[in-house]
Amino acid sequence: MTTIKQLDEKQYTLIHQYTEMLQTVEEAFEYVESSFDDYSKTEGDLVLSDIFAALGQIESSNQLLKELFQEENEVLTTLEKFDVVPNQALKLEGNFNDQNVKEKVIKESLFPAFSAWKMEVEKVMKPFIRN
C-alpha cells in the first residue's frame, strides 16, 4: 500500500492552481480549434500566443512539482512527458502564417498531445488534491 504525500497549504494551493491552469489552456485550445471553422471567433491567433506563454509557465511549474514530488515516480514520469507538447508546437515553426498547416498541427498533433498529457496529470494528481 502506498502512502499519499501530505501537502501543506502552499503546496496544495500550487497543485490546485496548476490543475486550473491546465484546464484554462485546454479551453483556450478548444477556442483556437473552433476558430478555424467559426469566423466570428477572431481572436484565435491571440489566444494561441497566450497558449504558448502558458506552456512556458507549465514548464516552470513542472520543475517546482518535480521537486515537490521527487519521491513519487508516477508523478515525475507524467510531468516529464510534457516534453511531447512543446515538441508538437515546434511543427508550427515557420508555418504560423499558413492557416492550413496551423490548423492541421493544432487539431491533429498539438491539442491532442496536450489533452492526453493533461488527462494523465489529472489522474496522478487526484490523490493529492482530494479533500
Would you list the DSSP string of 49-108?
A: HHHHHHHHHHHHHHHHHHHHTTT-HHHHHHHHGGGHHHHHHGGGTTTTT-HHHHHHHIII
Q: Which fold has domain 9-129?
A: Four Helix Bundle (Hemerythrin (Met), subunit A) (1.20.120)
pLDDT at position 9 is 85
Average pLDDT over residues 3-20: 82
* Mean pLDDT across 96-124: 95
Tell me what pLDDT residue 11 has: 86
pLDDT: is 117 or 97 the higher one?
A: 117
Mean local confidence (pLDDT), 79-86:
96
Across the range 65-88, mean pLDDT stands at 94
User: Does this model's pTM top 0.85?
Assistant: yes
